[in-house]
């Protein structure tokens, strides 16, 4: 007899070989051919020696399903590969941010030239997509599926890998990098106490960075300026900087080399007093009357005023 058995749960040539080797070793089996693209097994056997039910049972014992019976768990390989392909290209950004948080100057200086390249972000995206594509081609070719029917057959695997690659990139750009950017600048270099609170200014910069992974680079450069008190990064490209105008100016900040690569624009500027006045008596401006310490009259006038 010749029968066609539908099989689900196969992923590669190893699955084909496993099924063919197992079934062909059974008594009564004359021939078996498994197609990964069609998800089928073509079996020729002696029905007086072995039954179709027995053949299906042996395939199920290997962990595959036949005609809707128990099936093998889906492989997580595509998901893990996608996560890896999303993470690996950004190792430089992650290392730079980590070094910024830990204060490892050598590592910061090592990765800084990479982040100063305006095309660095685009290169990372291409690397992520390249890894996923190259891996897909190798996988399909290895399993004789490098064709339109093969791609259609493995669309779930490919969707999982590409989807997780894109997903991990978005997660890094929109969640991890923005959070770590502010962690890395939580404690500006050196303690800062404004000598005159009225001179503490707040300025908001919009910086043309390609992704939040570059935020620690901008913040780190601003921290090198004497007089910068605090820096707060806001997604997607805003930096709120508080500084002492007696020690530095916005022109001084905008003249940083990093802004030659990533253009900065002032979008808001205020003279903001940080602390509230304590009491009226300590903040009131008084005029002395020069009368040997005597108090002024109730009218507020003084001798010689």
Half-sphere exposure of 102 (CA within 13 A, CB side): 11
Domain count along the chain = 3
Does 171 lie in the same domain as 98? Answer: yes
The last residue of one of the domains, among 66, 87, 105, is: 66
Would you state the torsion angle of the CA atoms of residues 95, 100, 101, 103, taken in this order, to the nearest 10 degrees?
A: 120
Residue 146 has pLDDT above 80, yes or no: yes
**Domain membership flag for residue 286:** no
Q: Which residue has the higher pLDDT, 6 or 185?
A: 6
When pLDDT is averaged across residues 13-31 and rounded to a whole number, the result is: 91
pLDDT in tens, 83-98: 888 888 888 777 877 7
Does 124 lie in the same domain as 51? Answer: no
Average pLDDT of the chain? 78
pLDDT in tens, 111-138: 788 888 888 888 888 888 898 899 889 8
Does 82 lie in the same domain as 62? Answer: no
pLDDT of residue 184: 60
Does 12 lie in the same domain as 95? Answer: no
The last residue of one of the domains, among 148, 183, 218, is: 183
Residue 81 has pLDDT above 50, yes or no: yes
**Domain membership flag for residue 140:** yes
Does 28 lie in the same domain as 104? Answer: no
Question: Of 19-23, 77-81, 98-102, 154-158, where does mean pLDDT reach its minimum?
Answer: 98-102
pLDDT of residue 182: 79
pLDDT in tens, 245-299: 888 888 999 999 999 999 999 998 886 544 444 444 334 333 444 444 444 444 4
DSSP E strands in 119-253: the ranges are: 200-207, 228-234, 238-244
> Which whole-number Å values give the CA distances from 239 to 77, 176, 177, in the listed order?
40, 17, 14
pLDDT in tens, 194-253: 444 445 789 999 999 988 888 888 988 898 899 888 889 998 899 999 898 888 888 999
Domain that holds residue 105: 77-183
Could you write out the DSSP letters of every residue in 117-156?
STTHHHHHHHHHHHHHHHHHHHHHHHTT--SHHHHHHTHH
Does 177 lie in the same domain as 83? Answer: yes
> Which whole-number Å values give the CA distances from 180 to 97, 121, 148, 298, in the listed order?
7, 17, 43, 60
Does 178 lie in the same domain as 83? Answer: yes
**Domain membership flag for residue 291:** no
Positive or negative torsion for Cα 262, 268, 273, 275: negative
pLDDT of residue 96: 77
- With beta carbons less than 8 A apart as the criterion, state whether 16 and 10 touch: yes
**Domain membership flag for residue 119:** yes
Does 132 lie in the same domain as 99? Answer: yes
**Domain membership flag for residue 238:** yes
pLDDT in tens, 161-199: 899 999 988 888 888 887 877 776 544 444 444 444 445
The percent of residues in the chain predicted with pLDDT above 70, rounded, is: 79
**Domain membership flag for residue 154:** yes
Residue 106 has pLDDT above 50, yes or no: yes
The CATH number given to whatever domain includes residue 46 is: 3.30.70.100
Does 104 lie in the same domain as 53? Answer: no
The last residue of one of the domains, among 66, 88, 111, is: 66
**Domain membership flag for residue 279:** no
pTM: 0.58
Choose the most confident range, by mean pLDDT, from 77-81, 152-156, 159-163: 159-163
Q: How many CB atoms lie within 10 A of CB 75?
A: 14
**Domain membership flag for residue 294:** no
């Amino acid at each position: 007899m010749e029968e066609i058995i539908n099989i689900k749960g196969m992923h590669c040539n190893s699955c084909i070989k496993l099924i063919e080797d197992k079934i062909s070793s059974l008594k009564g089996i004359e021939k078996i051919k498994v197609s990964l693209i069609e998800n089928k097994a073509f079996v020729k056997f002696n029905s007086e020696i072995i039954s179709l039910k027995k053949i299906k049972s042996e395939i199920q014992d290997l962990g595959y399903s036949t005609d809707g019976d128990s099936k093998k768990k889906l492989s997580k390989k595509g998901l893990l590969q996608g996560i890896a392909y999303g993470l690996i290209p950004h190792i430089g950004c992650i290392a730079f941010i980590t070094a910024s948080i830990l204060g490892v100057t050598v590592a910061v200086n090592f990765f800084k030239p990479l982040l100063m390249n305006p095309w660095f972000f685009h290169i990372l995206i291409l690397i992520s997509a390249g890894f996923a594509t190259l891996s897909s081609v190798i996988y399909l070719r290895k399993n004789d599926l490098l064709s339109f029917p093969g791609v259609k057959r493995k669309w779930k695997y490919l969707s999982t890998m590409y989807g997780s690659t894109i997903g991990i990139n978005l997660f890094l750009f929109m969640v991890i990098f923005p959070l770590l950017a502010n962690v890395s600048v939580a404690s500006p270099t050196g303690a800062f106490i404004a000598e005159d609170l009225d001179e503490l200014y707040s300025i908001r910069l919009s910086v043309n960075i390609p992704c939040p992974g570059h935020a620690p680079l901008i913040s780190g450069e601003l921290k090198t300026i004497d007089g910068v008190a605090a820096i707060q990064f806001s997604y997607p490209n805003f930096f709120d900087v508080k500084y002492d105008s007696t020690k530095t100016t916005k022109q001084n900040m905008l003249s940083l080399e990093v802004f030659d690569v990533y253009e900065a624009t002032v979008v808001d500027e205020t003279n903001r007093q940080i602390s509230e006045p304590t009491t009226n008596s300590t903040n009131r401006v008084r005029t002395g009357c020069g009368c040997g310490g005597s108090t002024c009259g109730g009218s507020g006038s003084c001798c010689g005023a």
